[in-house]
């Protein structure tokens, strides 16, 4: 388990550049999926701008009108959407859309499955629970795929999984 801190009563992993590097390896596949869903010409959140440093957004689309938080996670067999509890409870603005994708341990460049969710609709759905990631020590809220059907805007290879 990595080093953790407590924020807003929730345990979260300290920043790990190796974990971030693995997550960013899937950016090319993320961009191609977003294009197939008609989200083109992304602008990456520039955290050098103070106002944008503490927002839970990775990319903007439609001239900055649509914000997306990209979560790229190693597949461990869970058919769930997960969000770090400290982010979800934070008063910092969360993106309008959540891209949640799982990549295989053998290839972090490609997603096995991914969904794009409307965050406003997701916030209205009670999480199935909270669990701690045994590798990072981070507390996560999680929702099963079947519980978030109303918030799903697009999906990739989810139909081929067992839910």
Mean pLDDT for back-to-back runs of 10 residues, the chain (163 residues): 64 63 84 93 67 66 86 87 81 86 91 94 94 81 94 83 47
DSSP 3-state assignment of 33? helix
Question: How high is the pLDDT of residue 116?
Answer: 96
* Domain count for the chain: 1
Q: Judge whether 135 lies within some domain.
A: yes
CB atoms inside a 10 Å sphere around CB 51:
7
Scored b (16 or more CB within 10 A) or e, 88-115 reads bebeeebbbbbbbbbbeeeebeebbbbb
Runs of H (alpha helix) within 3-118? 17-24, 27-36, 50-53, 85-89
Q: Judge whether 161 lies within some domain.
A: no
Q: Judge whether 163 lies within some domain.
A: no
Domain residues for the domain of 78 are 4-156
Question: How high is the pLDDT of residue 13?
Answer: 63
């Amino acid at each position: 388990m990595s080093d953790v801190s407590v924020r807003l009563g929730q345990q979260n992993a300290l920043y790990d550049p190796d974990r971030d590097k693995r997550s960013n390896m899937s950016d090319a596949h993320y961009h191609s999926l977003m294009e197939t869903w008609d989200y083109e010409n992304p602008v990456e959140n520039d955290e050098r701008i103070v106002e944008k440093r503490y927002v839970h957004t990775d990319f903007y689309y439609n001239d900055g009108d649509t914000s997306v938080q990209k979560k790229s996670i190693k597949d461990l067999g869970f058919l769930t959407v997960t969000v770090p509890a400290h982010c979800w409870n934070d008063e910092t603005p969360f993106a309008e859309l959540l891209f949640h994708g799982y990549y295989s341990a053998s290839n972090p460049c490609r997603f096995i499955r991914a969904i794009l969710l409307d965050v406003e609709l997701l916030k209205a759905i009670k999480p199935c629970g909270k669990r701690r990631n045994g590798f990072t020590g981070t507390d996560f809220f999680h929702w099963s795929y079947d519980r978030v059907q109303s918030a799903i805007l697009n999906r990739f290879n989810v139909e081929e999984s067992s839910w």
